[in-house]
Amino acid sequence: MAAGNRWQCLVAAQDFPWMASSCAGMDVQWWRSMDGHTFRGYRPAADTAAVFPWIALTPLISFEGASHGEVAQYHYVVETDVPDAALADFNAWYETEHMPGLARVPGTIRASRYVRTVGSPRFVACYDLVTPAAMEREEWLAVRHTDWSSRVRPQFRNTFRTLYQRHDVTAA
């Protein structure tokens, strides 16, 4: 997903083949969860054809990664809510420490943050990766285990973490 653009997201499970065929001709990038049970599609928000309830995502911040320019084969998504009382610390942590730190890890192409305009979880962090091995690197783990991370992460509510692989709907 390009930085700074408004996006729409669709998450599908059992009805994916039908949904994907119904989206034929739309500019949709599909991702399949590593367990194969969930599919996630993104399209530009300017695409107004609405066959399904697409979720509007408004960009908050985006960082080019250490591997910027490569094609993402993996897409790691963290969705969460936080209590209003923790929101200022949560946003500052994401914008000044967490996302920039993870973007600097080799294998990270882009780290971006969005907010849903409706629904929950409200916040969506997306990491485009060359390989999931980037998440096992010492640099990635160091960013995840800072004192600030230890203070913010317990405030997460309704959290989902999913690793996806690029999915070509035209492949047989």
Structure confidence by residue, pLDDT tens digits, 76-111: 999 999 999 999 999 999 999 999 999 999 999 999
Rg (CA), the chain: 16
pLDDT per position as a tens digit, 62-85: 999 999 999 999 999 999 999 999
1: pLDDT strictly greater than 70: no
- Count the Cβ atoms, other than its own, within 10 Å of residue 17: 11
What structural domains and CATH numbers belong to the chain? 7-166 (3.30.70.100)
Residue with tokens 């998504």: 77
Q: What is the DSSP letter of 97?
A: I
Q: Quote the pLDDT of residue 36.
A: 85
> What pTM did the predictor assign?
0.89
CA angle 34, 59, 17 (to 5 degrees): 35
